[in-house]
Structure formats: structure tokens, C-alpha cells
Amino acid sequence: MAGRIIDWIDQRFPLTKFIKHELTEYPTPRNLSYWWNFGSLAGIVLVIQIVSGIFLAMHYKPDALMAFDSVEHIMRNVNYGWLIRYMHSTGASAFFIVIYIHMARTLFYGSYRAPRELMWWTGQVLLLMLMATAFMGYLLPWGQMSYWGAQVITSLFGATPFIGDDVVRWLRGDFVVGDATLTRFFALHYLFPFLIVGMVVIHLVALHMVKSSNPSGINLADKDNIPFHPYYTIKDLFGFGVFFIVFAYFVFYSPNTFIEADNYEPANPLKTPPHIVPEWYFLPFYAILRAIPDLLGGVVAMGVSVVIFALMPFLDRSKIPGGAKYRPIYRIMFALFVIDILVLSYVGLKPPSGTLVIVGQVATFVYFALFTLLPFISRWEERWLRKKGLPPEVEELIRQEEEEAAKRGRRA
């Protein structure tokens, strides 16, 4: 019976064809490691956030006088409100952990290189949209940290030359962060996730054209692929299981790890908390912002530090494919970058004082140095490796890459 219904649909809509081509029979490299699970994990976290968010919105009041109380109402009176709220707050942190690991995988394995530049750039846009969504969402509980975090970050736009003050006032809808700001942030926080879904679709369309890269760096197209189903469906599901265990631990046993204590105090426009801290996922960029003594300089540096990733396909000049696998210098740079991010996070967490300020400035310098030196180091590394003598499989890889690039060039 079900078969006949599906046949009827198939004559009018490419249902089975689509599912076969894009999902069940979709060719995927057989050697993807667990680092490749993080894309689908990001998808499942997006679903968790949207579902929990919509059910929270049934009870939340986006009004400065009622917001804080409505969150406590959800926590205390709404059936399972506490569960939905903690899922949403934990989910926000989970989203960033997953995305940062996803980005790290892409950087390490060189998955941003041709022909995958658009995947990397749609990903970059998705990161920006996620950051905006998280920032606006954080204002909604209307706690002390919510309020003052929003106050600080919206004032940054005052650094814009000539029209700075007007921009800030326009953003807030008021002279300070207030009810007007809260209501519009709620409206946009509800909207953005659906824009993110749209962008994810574009991200996946791009993926299905260029196909996944893989840990070996070899272009496996037509050679050693396996169908996505059942191999990667089950592997992704297993990944979900592991993720949910960690997620559930935090939701049920440590839900306030990611909620600043100060945010359990209602927003007070007349009293700034002694120590304003953004959520952990913004810490490195916050540290870069503070490292530059000039306001406009700091804002520009912070902005550039987020979008500079987009330049990776151009900054990496090495012809040696496969990311860090055959490139020891690149691997060192990657490790340095990770350490630098952690140092910056620490600097962003603590109040600025004495040695920490210097450390933050050094770490900021290292951050930008790694990107700006990459073109030179990558070319030098390639020359050095060629002089040493490349393993035959790498020579083969390079030859294939040049063939592929030429094919693309001819088509252009």
C-alpha cells in the first residue's frame, strides 16, 4: 500500500529519486573519521535549539518588566519548563563546541581548498549568523550579565566614524539598552534560526556538488566511495548517541555551568557588575577587542578576527593537498593556533590587569601573524618538502589536483 502511494508521488514529484541521489545512495568516501560527524551534529543541535526555543517562546514575555519573571515562571511553573530552558541554554554552548570542532576539522584537513571554497564561505556566513543569534538570545533573560553584555557590545558600534552614535541609537531603539532593544532582539532571535536553516541548505547543496573531502587528502571521487546509507546514517546516529550522553549530563546534572551567576540577578541599569564576561564562545574575540587600546582599532581587530577565516583558500599557497597530513609546518601552525585561541580565551575571561594585558596583546599578535604569514610559510614549506623529496603518493595527489584544477579552469 505504502509502495503504491510512493509510486503515485514519484510520478509527480522526484521523491524517491531525490532521496536515493542525495541521501541513501549518495557516494561518500569510505575513510571518513569521526571528525566528520560534527556537521550532522551541528544539524541536530540546530533542531534542538529551534524546538526548545519555540516551546520557550510560548511562555516567555519579551518585555523589560516581565522577561526575568517569565523565565522564572518557566523554570518553576510550566510543566517541564525547567527542562526545556536548560536544554536551550546548554544547547547554545553545545552548538558552539560542535561548530568550533567542525571548523577545526576543516582547517586541519584543508577542506576549505578548491573546489570547496563556497562551502567554507557559506560556513563563514553561518558562523556569523550563529554569533548574532546567540548574542541576541543572551539578552532575553534580562539578567545583569544579559543587560550589560548587550550594553557593551552595542556601544562598540559607536566606533563607526561620523555616524557612530546614530547607529548605536538605531540598533537599540533607545539611548540605552532598554525595552525597545529587548523586543526587537526577541523578534530577530526567533527569525534568524530559520535563515540559518536556509543557509544550511545552501551549504549542503554546495557539499553535494563537490562531495566530502576525507582524511587522506586523496580525491576519492569515483574510486572508493560507499553509499551514505546505511554506513554513515548509522555512524551519524551513533555520534548523536554519544553527543546526547554528554548533553544530557550537563542538562540534568550541571545545567548552571554555562549560566553566569550574575544573570540570576534582574537587570539593573544603574548598577554595573564588577566583572562583565561574555559567554565562553565569544571569549577569544573579546580578548582581541580589549587588546587594542583604541576603540575603533579594537572593534576593527575583533571584526577582522572573525571574518579572516574566509581568506584561508587564498592564504594557503601550498600545492600539497590533504591538509596537515603531509605538511609538518602547517601542523605546527595549526597547533599554535589552537593554543593561541585557548590563551586568548583565558585572557578574555579574566579582568584586564598588568601581565595579562601584555599576554593578550602578544596572543592577538600571534593570531593575526599566523594568518598573514601563512602565504609565505606555506610556499616555503612546499619548496622545502619538494627539496626533501615528496613521497610518490603525494606527487600523485598533486598531479591529480592539477588535473582537476585544469578541468575547472577550462570550464570557467
Partner 1 sequence: MKQVIVSFFIVVLGVFVSASSQAGTTEVALKPIKVDRSLDSLRRGAQVVFDTCMRCHSLRYITYRDLLDMGLSKDEVDALRGDRGMGEYLQTTMPPAAAKFHFGMLPPDLSLMAKARKNGPSYIYTLLTSYEEMSNGKIDNPVFPGIRMPDILNVTVETAPEERAVVEQKARDVVAFLEWAADPRAQERRELGAYVLAYLVILTALLYWRKRKIWSRLDDA
Partner 2 sequence: MSEYDSDSNNPESPERREFLGKVTGVVAGTGIVAASWPFISSMNPSTDVLSKATTEADISDIAPGQVHTVEWQGKPVFILHRTDQQIDKMRQSEGGKDPTADQKRVLEPNWLVVVGICTHLGCVPNRVDDGWLCPCHGSVYDNSGRILRGPAPRNLHVPPYQFTGENRLLIGQADPQRQRCERVDPDAAGDTFCVSTNPNGKEV
CA distances 103 to 3, 192, 261, 312, 394, Å, are 41, 21, 30, 12, 24
CA pair distance 67, 86, nearest whole angstrom:
16
Residues in the site for partner 1, rule: CB under 8 A?
A: 30, 72, 75-76, 82-83, 86, 226, 230-231, 234-235, 237-238, 241-242, 244-245, 248-249, 251-253, 255-256, 259, 261-262, 264-265, 274-275, 277, 342, 345-346, 349-350
Site mask, partner 2, residues 68-107, x = CB under 8 A? -----x--xxxxxx-xx-----------------------
The answer to whether the CB of 400 falls within 8 A of the CB of 219 is: yes
Show contacts with partner 2 in window 113-142 (CB under 8 A): none
Residue with cell 550522553: 245
b/e map 229-262, b = 16+ CB within 10 Å? eeebeebbeebbeebeeebeebbeeebeebbbeb
Q: What is the spatial distance between Cα 169 and Cα 180, in angstroms, rounded to a whole number?
A: 11
387 is catalytic: no
Spell out, one character per residue from 282 to 321, where the chain touches partner 2: x when CB under 8 A holds, - when not: ----------------------------------------
Non-local (6+) Cβ contacts of 40 within 8 A are 236, 239, 240
Q: Least distance (Å) from partner 2 to the CB of residue 234?
A: 9
Contact partner at residue 265 from partner 1, partner 2, none, CB < 5 to 8 Å by partner kind: partner 1
> Active-site residue 208, yes or no?
yes
Query: Which of partner 1, partner 2, none does residue 355 bind to, with CB < 5 to 8 Å depending on kind?
Result: none
Annotated active-site residue 236? The verdict is yes
What residues have CB less than 8 Å from 92, skipping those under 6 apart?
A: 49, 134, 137, 258, 279
Among 262, 279, 340, 381, the active-site one is 279
Q: With contact defined as beta carbons under 8 Å apart, do 100 and 279 qualify?
A: no
What separation in angstroms does the CA of 302 have from each of 138, 204, 216, 305, 374?
A: 19, 29, 34, 5, 20
Of 146, 212, 213, 216, the catalytic one is: 212
Instruction: State the helix-helix crossing angle for 117-139 and 295-307, rounded to 10 degrees.
Output: 130
Q: Say which of 211, 236, 316, 340 is annotated catalytic.
A: 236
> With CB cut-offs between 5 and 8 Å by kind, which of partner 1, partner 2, none does residue 79 bind?
partner 2
Closest contact distance (angstroms) between CB of 349 and partner 1 is 6
User: Whose Cβ is closer to partner 1: residue 32's or residue 394's?
Assistant: 32
Question: What mask, x for binding partner 2 by CB under 8 A, covers residues 39 to 68?
Answer: ------------x---x--xx---------
Q: Where do contacts with partner 2 occur on this chain (CB under 8 A)? A: 51, 55, 58-59, 73, 76-81, 83-84, 237
Catalytic positions: 208, 212, 235-236, 279
